[in-house]
Amino acid sequence: ILGGREARPHLRPHMASLQLDGEHICGGFLIAEQWVLSAAHCTEETDGKLFQVLLGAHSLTEPEPHKRLYRVRAQIPHPGSNVYNNEDDLLLLQLEEKAELNEHVQVLPFQREQRDVAAGTVCEVAGWGTVTHSGRRPDRLQQVERPVLSRDECNHRTRHDHSITPNMMCTDSRKRDTCKGDSGGPLVCNGVAEAVVTAGSRVCGNYKKPGIYTRIAPYAAWIDRVMGALSG
Ligand SMILES: NCc1cccc(NC(=O)c2cccc3[nH]c(C(N)=O)cc23)c1
């Protein structure tokens, strides 16, 4: 997160850190006791290895009550996700067991209504992604508020040049923005997860390249189908 600040500890008990060999790779969030939603692009450099999912954390390194690392039973990228664009950039992770819910570990409901978030709505995004252009990684969860940019604005040829589909949405990226390692985290508007951070053009903090997110409502049926098929 560029231009944000340290989050109030444990005010986002849905937040997950997707890790490989103890290293934070991507964000994610708990959508059910045994399921985390993240971004498919997060598996690009994992060489087929399964993530481990850290829940209940504020600091990535300090011991904290209720902080727990879960193994993953299955990782299901959306079938439409690919390495060439940001389409269908969602990843479902089934934990080896149900997460133990408490005041530091909670499920976050996601938007199921198909209506766009109004441009100008101020939403918030949190993550352990880089906090400087030189790539400094924070130990503690960061957050930032960002206004939603209309799809038309975002699709302007000097911005994302008509690559933003109805299944995506954008936020203003002037100075304050998501960055490397924030992918997979939720964009929360009025307490509901509306979308998932995608790396998009991989640029951070440049107002010409607004932050891009995968809207969740268009994928509610896929999410329910996968969770239902692999339950039990
Ligand atoms: N704001 C949009 C946004 C949201 C989430 C992730 C990112 N970016 C990256 O995942 C990324 C990946 C690889 C090299 C990179 N270098 C940089 C950089 N130096 O800015 C970013 C990256 C950008």
For the question of residue 89 being annotated catalytic, the response is yes
The one catalytic residue among 17, 81, 173, 183: 183
Reply yes or no on whether the pLDDT at 232 is more than 70: no
- The label of the residue with tokens 């692999």 reads 230
The one catalytic residue among 88, 89, 172, 177: 89
Check: CB of residue 93 under 8 Å from CB of residue 38.
Answer: yes
Indicate the pTM of the whole model.
0.97
pLDDT of residue 197: 98
Taking the C-alpha atoms of residue 215 and residue 87, their distance in angstroms, rounded to an integer, is 10
Ligand 1 close to Cβ of residue 182 (< 6 A): yes
Taking the C-alpha atoms of residue 129 and residue 156, their distance in angstroms, rounded to an integer, is 27
- Determine which helix (DSSP H) or strand (DSSP E) holds 116, and give its type and residue range: none
Return the best residue to mutate from 46, 83, 180 for the ligand 1 pocket (most ligand atoms within 8 A of CB).
180
**ipTM here:** 0.91
pLDDT of residue 206: 97
Task: Please write the tens of the pLDDT for every residue from 39-76.
Answer: 999 999 999 999 999 999 999 999 999 999 999 999 99
Taking the C-alpha atoms of residue 47 and residue 84, their distance in angstroms, rounded to an integer, is 17
CA angle 52, 53, 58 (to 5 degrees): 130
